[in-house]
A and B are shown apart, each in its own frame.
Chain A
Amino acid sequence: MSNTVAAASRPEPDNNYLTAGYGLKSWLLTTDHKRIAILYLIMISVFFVIGGLFAVLIRLELLTPAGDLVSSDTYNKLFTLHGLVMIFFFLIPSIPAVMGNFLIPLMIGARDLAFPRINLLSWYVFAIGGMTTFAVVLFGGVDTGWTFYTPYSSTYSKTAVGLTAIGVFITGFSSILTGLNFVVTIHKMRAPGLTWFRLPLFVWAHYATSLIMLIGTPVVAITILLVFLERVFGVGIFDPALGGDPVLFQHLFWFYSHPAVYIMILPSMGVISEVVACFSRKRIFGYGFVAFSSLAIAVLGFLIWGHHMFTSGQSIFAGMVFSILTMLVAIPSAVKVFNWTATMYKGSISYETPMIYVFGFLGLFTVGGLTGLFLGALGLDVHVHDTYFVVAHFHYIMVGGAIMGYLAALHFWWPKITGKLYSEAWAKLSAIIIFIGFNLTFFPQFLVGYLGMPRRYHVYPDEFQIFQVLSTAGASILAIGYAFPAFYLTWSLFRGKAAPANPWNAKGLEWTVPSPPPKHNFDTIPVVEEEAYDYSRLEEEVV
C-alpha cells in the first residue's frame, strides 16, 4: 500500500486516544489517563531492563564460589541497585500506574480519573525520583541494600546514601498521588447503577492498594528523610550514642515495607480475578469474599511488620505477637486462591496466553505464600533469616506472582490498549519459557538457603556452587522468556491484525468501547444493570 493511499484511507477525524494528537508535546502534556498509562509503561519498561541488567551481573558473579567478576564493594552496590530499581521503580508502579491508570476509568464507566492533572504530575514526580536515583550511579552507587538499615546507612556507609534517600523520597509522592486519585475516582465517579458490589474485582484490589499507598508511603518517606538528616546533621534518632535506637528504623521502615509487598501483589490478584472469570466463562466464586479479602489484606498487612525483625534485637514478646498475627494474613490470601480454583471448577476453561500466566501465578504464589508462613514462624525464621531461603520466598511472590500477573494483564488488555492482536503462538511459548526459567532460577535458592547460604554474599563455600549454577542457568532462560514479549508485542504494533472491541468475548465495560478506546472513553455514560462477570447471561446471548 502506498503512502498516499494509506493517508487517504485513514478514517477521517478518528478520535481514538492514540490518534487524538501527534507529536511529543501532545504526549508530555496530556492529561488523558490512557496516555499517562502509556508514559508509565514506557518508563517502567526501561527500569525493568536496567534492574534486570543488575541481576545479570549478580547471577554471573555467583557462578563461581570465588569473588572473581566484581569486587565485594561493587557486588554490594549491584544487589542494592537491583532491589531498589525493581521494587520502587518497577513493581510498585507496575500494575497500578499502567493497568490501573488505563483501566479503572474504563471499568467504572468514567471519562477520566478524578484529578487528571495530578495524574500527570505523578508521572513527572516519578520521573524526577527515578532520575535522582540514577544519578546515584554516577556518584559511585549505594551499598546499603534496598532496606537502608541503620546504623550502617545513617553512620557508616561511604556511598551515596543521601542522594538515594532523596530519590526514593521523591518517588514516594508519585505513589501517594496515584493512590489518592484512585480512591477519589472509585468513590465518586462510578457510572449510574455501578454499585460497590458490581465493581470488577480489579477495581476492588486497586482500592485496597490505594489505601496502603496513602497510609503507608508517608511513613517510609519520612523514615528515609530521617536517615538523610541523620547522615547530614547527626540528629541522633537512630544513633544510640545520642539516645537513638537503630531498631527504630526497622520498625518505621517495615511499617511501610511489609504493606508495600501487598502494593505489589494486590493489583496482580485483581488481574487474576478478571482473567480467571473470563477464561472459565464463569462468575467469580464468592465475589464478596474475594472483594473483602483485599481490604482484609490491606488492614492486616499493617499489623505484622515485626516478622522482618525476629533477629534484630526486637523483644521476644513482640516477636511472638508478630508471629501469631502473621499467620492471620495468610487467611485472606488463601481465600483468594481457593476461590479462583473454585471459579475454574466446572468452568469451560480455555488456554489463551493470559490464562497460562494465571496458572503460573496460582502455583508460584502458593509456594511463595506458604514459605512466607515458614518464615513467619518465629522459631524457624531464626535459622533461615537472611539466607537464600528468604530470597527464594520473595522472588516466588514478586516475580512468580506479581510479574506473572503483570504479564497476564499486559497480554489480556494489549488488544484493548493498542488495538492490535499479538501472535498467540509466540506468546504461549514465552509464557512457558518464563515458567520453566523462573523455577529453575529460584527453586535451587530454597535449597541452598535452607542449607545455610546467607544472602548478599558473593564468596561462598564450594558445596553451594551447584545450586548457584542451576540458578544462573535458569536466569538465562528466564531472560530469554522476558525478551520474547518485547519483540512480538512491538511487532504487533506495526504488523499485528486490528483487534476487535472484545477479542476475548469478555465481560466488563472496558470491552464495550472500541479498541483502542476513544479519547473520552464513552460517548454516553453507560448505565449498569448487572453484576460483574455475568458470563452465564453472555453465553445465552451468544447462543
Chain B
Amino acid sequence: MSAHKIPARIYYLIFATLLLLTMITVEVAFYDIGILSFPVALGIACFKSTLVILYFMHVRYGTGLTGLFVSAGFIFLAILMVFTLMDLNTRDWQVQPDESGISLAAPFDHGYGIGKQLR
C-alpha cells in the first residue's frame, strides 16, 4: 500500500553483497578450518537470508506487525528444533532404580549426548 520508493541502488548493493558472500562461501570451502567450517558456512547463509528478507522482501520497510509475523515464523522454527534436539540428545538417559528411588542417568558416553545426571 504505502509504496515506499526504494532506490534501485539499494537493490544492486544487496545483490552485489549476496554475490560476494557466495564467493566467500565457496572460497572458505577450500580451507581446512576444522570444526569452524560448519558454523561459518551457516553464519554466512543466515546473513544472506536476512538481507533477502529485509530488503528484497521489504520487511525492513514494513510495519512492526509484519516484523512480528516474520519473527514468529523463526521463533516457532526454533521451538521445533530445540524440542527435537532435546529428544535426540537425551536418548541414552536411562531409568535406573537405586536405593533412593528412580533416577535418570547416562550409563555410557556416546559422544553426542549431554550425558548429565538428572535427579
Contacts and interface: CB of A to CB of B under 8 A. Distances in A.
Q: Do A and B come from one complex?
A: yes
Contacts of A302: 76, 79
Given A215-B76, A302-B79, A251 B87 contact: yes
B86 interface: yes
B73 A187 contact: no
B47 to A, nearest CB: 23
Nearest to A303: B79
B90 interface: yes
Contact of B83 (A211, A215, A219, A318): A318
A324 interface: no
The listed residue with most B CB atoms (<10 A of its CB), out of A183, A302, A303, is A302
Interface string A98-140: 0000000000000000000000000000000000000000000
Nearest to A305: B83
Contact of A247 (B79, B80, B87, B95): B87
B2 to A, nearest CB: 13
A200 to B, nearest CB: 22
A96 B31 CA distance: 54
Nearest to B94: A316
A219 B80 contact: yes
Interface SS majority for chain A: helix
A317 interface: yes
B16 interface: no
A474 interface: no
Nearest to B72: A215
A248 B84 contact: yes
Interface string B86-119: 1111111111000000001000000000000010
A315 B90 contact: yes
A303 B83 contact: yes
A183 B72 CA distance: 14
Contacts of B95: 316
B79 A317 contact: no
Interface SS majority for chain B: helix
Interface residues of A, number: 24
Nearest to A321: B86
A318 B92 CA distance: 11
A318 B87 CA distance: 5
Contacts of A183: 69
A274 B80 CA distance: 34
Contacts of B35: none
B8 interface: no
B65 interface: yes
Contacts of B76: 215, 302
Given A187-B65, A255-B80, A318 B86 contact: yes
Contact of B93 (A215, A255, A317): A317
B9 to A, nearest CB: 31
Contacts of B84: 248, 251-252
A315 B91 contact: yes
User: Top 9 closest A-B pairs, CB basis?
Assistant: A318-B87, A317-B90, A315-B90, A251-B84, A315-B91, A215-B76, A314-B87, A315-B87, A317-B93
14 contacts: A219-B80, A248-B84, A255-B80, A302-B76, A303-B79, A303-B83, A315-B87, A315-B88, A315-B90, A315-B91, A317-B86, A318-B83, A318-B87, A321-B83
Interface of A: 183, 187, 211, 215, 219, 245, 247-248, 251-252, 255, 302-303, 305-306, 309, 313-318, 321-322
